[in-house]
A and B are shown apart, each in its own frame.
Chain A
Amino acid sequence: MRLLLREALLSFRRAPLLSALSITTIAFSLFTVGLFGLVAINMQQALRDVGTRVEIVAYIMRGTPLEAITVAAQDINAFPEVSAVDYIDEEQALAQAQAELVEFRDAYRDLRVNPLPASFEIHLREGSRDAAIVAAVAERVTGFDFIDDVRFGRVWIERLDQIRNVAGMVGLIIGIAFAAAAIVIIGTTIRMAVLQRAREITIMRLVGATDWFIRGPFLLEGALKGLLGGVCAIGLAYAAFVVFGKRAVALPDLVFFEPLQLAIGVLFGVAIGLSGSLVSVGRHLKDV
């Protein structure tokens, strides 16, 4: 193991410029993915916040018997996407309006007849809050014939959903392009290292080194470059996050990646580095 590490580190010293180039490419590849990833997870977060507030409100026709309402509430509650159904009767609706809409408090007080209908406030489970599911549930609720109207933040949710998907896709595509470039560059550095060390490899073979023993340092070299690239990418992404966070005062609740997501990012870097060197070593060791 010590020998393996020594040989792998030696190659950094032999070709520092190329090594730096491979690490930078991996770092940028992951950084790009990371930036778009950050946008995506923050939108996800925003959607979650919106999601807990914007639920489906189904207005119930006046004069609907309480039994029908109770049965319907149970039915809706049984939908797999639904986490809770609250029945708000006319008086509660008025009280709520008076409490929440301070500007109209006086107007409400002077009312002789309560104009507000009773309603169901339907809360959805987490994971069931994207636009399509919300619309589907709303559609189903409309099916009860005493339901007058159904409201939900459809446009909002759909738009956020789309932006999140686009951000994710763009990030993924650019990231893949960068990752491919990184694999090619790492492959080239390994190829050069193999040719540079052709003599050494011949001697290793002569004294009975196995193929895997010879490959080991090259693979470790690639993996280490990937690891360093991954760590650099995290640094860059965090710097960008902090800088953006300071400017965007209007968005106070921005979130950064969780440790698990960071670990996956670094692992991805290691995978890029490893695959670049695997391909190259496999191809060029035969020529030596």
Chain B
Amino acid sequence: MIRFQEVTKTYAKGETALRDVSFRVSKGEFLFLTGHSGAGKSTVLKLLYAEQRPTHGEVRVSGFLVSSLGRAEVPRLRRRLGVVFQDFRLLEDRTAEENVAFALEVTGARRDTISNRVARVMTQVGLASKMRAYPSELSGGEQQRVVIARALVNDPPILLADEPTGNLDPRATRGIFKLLQDINAGGTCVVMATHNLDLVRRAEYRSIEMRSGAIVFDSAEADRPAATS
């Protein structure tokens, strides 16, 4: 589903964000990306949704080769991904429902299917009663649920979440994390970058720790029995 192969990313300013990073994520897997700020977690996610291109190496996502993706193909890749951010990125002048519908409208979906699908995901994230509310009328946790609904409305096989609980109180954090777990249980691959080690410890999911642009720990590698020589 996702494959990083010897990926190095150097930004224009000369700063190297990733060094020789390789890993794979299988279909339906839940992966934590951990590490301090600047460790390279966000760069990994940006490469996944083709906001950035690798300087060296290969990035494959859901059948797309990001390293050589044409500009016109980027929208096609993004329709196969859901992306969730710490700062929500909702349009303040639209209701929750309109924000979610927006993601379908830009793909040219038919009007009659839009309202059905929006209602379905809003129910899935537990906000069916607040469809008509504007972002400013919702709590942080609720806003993040709208963002998740927006990410899910295209039925993507992969959900990317960059610090989705970074701005939330512990209770809202638990709620959002539970929602992501449910989504994963439904078969969607989830990649979540987070500082919150509590969450990582509590769940039995695979985690990759990054430091200065390199992978320093991958629980999948650690679990694997060491090869005998």
Count of inter-chain pairs, beta carbons less than 8 A = 47
CB 8 Å contact bits of B97-109 with A (1 = contact, 0 = none): 0000011011110
- Given known pairs A206-B78, A207-B78, A208-B76, the reply for A213 and B106 (CB within 8 Å) is yes
Q: When the two chains form their complex, are residues A207 and B106 in contact, meaning their CB atoms are under 8 A apart?
A: yes
Q: When the two chains form their complex, are residues B76 and A206 in contact, meaning their CB atoms are under 8 A apart?
A: no
Q: How far is the CB of A219 from chain B (nearest CB, A)?
A: 16
**Interface residue? B83 (CB, 8 A):** yes
Residues of A within 8 Å of B154, CB to CB, are 207-208
**Interface residue? B226 (CB, 8 A):** no
Q: When the two chains form their complex, are residues A209 and B106 in contact, meaning their CB atoms are under 8 A apart?
A: yes
- Given known pairs A199-B89, A202-B89, the reply for A207 and B76 (CB within 8 Å) is no
- Given known pairs A200-B91, A203-B89, A203-B91, the reply for A208 and B105 (CB within 8 Å) is no
Q: When the two chains form their complex, are residues A206 and B72 in contact, meaning their CB atoms are under 8 A apart?
A: no
Residues of B within 8 Å of A208, CB to CB, are 75-79, 103, 106-107, 154
Q: How far is the CB of B219 from chain A (nearest CB, A)?
A: 29
- How many angstroms between the C-alpha atoms of A207 and B83 in the bound complex? 8
**Interface residue? A211 (CB, 8 A):** yes
Q: How far is the CB of B177 from chain A (nearest CB, A)?
A: 22
CB 8 Å contact bits of A200-230 with B (1 = contact, 0 = none): 1011111111110100000000000000000
**Interface residue? B9 (CB, 8 A):** no
**Interface residue? B224 (CB, 8 A):** no
- How many angstroms between the C-alpha atoms of A199 and B83 in the bound complex? 15
- Given known pairs A3-B105, A204-B106, the reply for A209 and B89 (CB within 8 Å) is no
Interface set of A (CB-CB < 8 Å, partner B):
2-3, 199-200, 202-211, 213
User: Lowest 4 CB-CB distances: which A-B pairs, in order?
Assistant: A209-B106, A208-B79, A208-B78, A207-B103
